[in-house]
Structure 1
Amino acid sequence: MTGREIDYTAVYRASPNAVALLSPKFVYEDVNEAYLRVAGRRRDQLIGRHVFDVFPDNPDNPEDPDTSGVGSLRASLERVVESGERDAMALQRYDVELPGSPGRWEERYWAIINVPVRGPGGGVALIVHRVEEVTELVRATRGRDDRERSQVMQAELYSRAQELQEVNRRLRRAHAREREVALALQDAMLPAPRPFAGHQAAVRYRPATEALNVCGDWYDLVDLPGERVAVSVGDVVGHGLAAACVMGQLRSALSAASRVATGPAQSLDALGLYARSVDGAESATSVVAFLDWSTSSLTYSSAGHPPPALLAPDGSVRLLDQATDPPLGARLVPEPRPETTVPFTSGSLLVLYTDGLIERRGEDIDAGLARLTGSLARHRDADPEELADLLLAELLPSDGIVDDTALVVIRL
């Protein structure tokens, strides 16, 4: 022993661990500098205040209320006071309201240990409340798990990309014959659908008036195991061979992803990761629907694309707009996309399309959607081939098509 007296208050203040001292009533008695940093609060905002007044529960937290941050922490603190024993909590999601921004919450994850300090009478006089923020670790782990789950899809996408690289090289060498190449691309990339499970389907493609015969829109129908089919449409910004090359890569990649994905959202998750490595795929949009005749239901997910329309036999029209998300590659940090499942009546018609069918310059998109739903209701008795022709005739402008259009109509 050196005989030197240690200033434990100074040690507490300088400790790199974030520690607060709470009363048995869960009121802040003291906090160190590390705690102030992770809490994002000043000392005067904490001392003398109840911990759950400073950090209430997030009312928008989708977690079960029984496992909320407040409920779990309160239970731990009560156990410490009652038992006089330390309590190490399981990893907690405990959102924090941003200082100076009421109603705005930040998702945070914490590792927490609560330790009792006994007073002269033997009872709990203080609670040492040590917290460690692990939000970044949780996010990194979540990202790693997502990568592991997508290994099968990534391998398939890589194989498809290798095949398409040779197509792209040939396109560049054939620049002097752009029109002939465009015609060949249109036949190869957008073939007529094969019959599947006895269900009728019609597809149409119309390029912009001033573009080559192929542009950046695509459609695809993929047979899946059982009585299921994946159908998609998509849109790449731009016209001509450059847009066609990107369209071909994305269409093939999505076709591959749909064959191994559990649903449309997962197939778009994979396509979004792939699109980030494809020049010209920025802001591309797509919508995917998985149709299941064994359950008379369809599941869909949209990446910034206009909503599909479901036409019932009675003429009612439902726009499928409850599972929308930003375009492919729009987020710097990818997040799982939403998907929604809806039932359908036998004999209904599902219509997927690109924005050239409904959008007009200087006009709100709701006007175009109203034209579409009105045309569908009028022609509810038409078969898919007839309906596809009627929609193009009624909805495309008569003075020239300014944007290419892809259209798929399926009898359910």
Structure 2
Amino acid sequence: MATCAGINCAQGNAKMQCPKCKDLDISSFFCGQDCFRKSWSTHKSVHTKPQAQPKDDMNLMKLAAALQQSGSSGIGRGEPMEEGAYDPFPNFPYSGTLRPHYPLSAKSKVPDTVTLPDYAKDGTLNLLKATYGLAKGLASIKRLSSEEIDVMRRVCRLGRFVLQQTAKQIKPGVTTDQLDKYVHALCMANNSYPSPLNYHGFPKSVCTSINEVICHGIPDKRKLKEGDIINLDISLFKNGFHTDLNATFPVGKIDADSQKLIDTTRKSLDNAIKICKPGTPFRNIGNEIQPTCDAEGFSVVKTYTGHGVGREFHQSPTILHHTNMRSKGEMKVGQIFTIEPMVNASKSYHVEHWNDNWTAVTRDGVRSAQFEEAILITENGCEVLTAADDYVPPAEHVTIPSIKADQDVVTIDDI
């Protein structure tokens, strides 16, 4: 039975195939018309087939270099490629100057001692659907027991530790591939699985989204540059539960407009967290976020949402970050969900996707920022499970060296 390809939906009884996908011989199914319509703005990107590529990497590198020199690669000129890297989609109409830097490194390995989520081996979700069920609607919103909450609290603190340690490695000259290897090593050292790895086929252990990339950026050979901004989206799985959090960081010294974008995005998230308590309608979250961003001339991305998190990486409820009075449901004690506004530095909230079918970018090429926290609804309000603190994983005693520029492989001692 096929898994639904809808946004934040993982139904196991998807039988309705997208007509366009059928014509293109793409395996893509939905659980119903409503889910198909809601997901269309994102799903349609899979219909763009990658252009035919030269037979080998050397030819592709030569073609990409020629197109870039002529200015025909995308809208305007892209950044110079790092030595030995190439753009796999040289004729793609990029909205900004950022380009993918291929070839990608091999997927990081996971030892047998680490417990795997259900999708780790083949990229599809199946075990948890059979065990816990994925009924649609408000009835499927999980309310965790005190014992489950205690596990989630520890897993979320570990996620924050991984984010904070990785953020210390951000500097000009470091590649996003190095950051990915660093995250992976930290997860392995703490006997946890990096949730993005092979989730619906995602090839890396962390999402790294730079400048005009809104989310789901794939780590590659591009070196961070002074003045960039980068979002690290950290998710990991341990003791049967996932955590999910992210933050946007400056690379060296950034301009005032980029700092304003980062500050406003964080402020919008904080404003939303302040209203979280039992009985608050979920729609009120967007009512706090969008006005905060509108006041600065920014826009809130509508394509992607927050979500429940716990035994499943993504589950109910769906958290909208923009104003929408049709959003149903209210917060109840024991629920855990993420709030993760994505904010563009213009009035355009529209999203485009690169031909890798993952990287989401701003349509007009402006910068985008994002912050994410996992929220637990309590009797008296809420608890930010992923909040910054001085937590250090117990009894691991793992030495993690800093990443050095031009260091292709991150070596971790004492793992």
Report the TM-score range of the alignment, normalised by the length of the smaller protein.
Answer: under 0.3
TM-score by length of 2: 0.23
Greater strand proportion: 1
Work out which of the two has the higher radius of gyration on C-alpha atoms and give 1 or 2: 1
Q: Which has the higher contact order (CA 8 A, sep 6+)?
A: 2
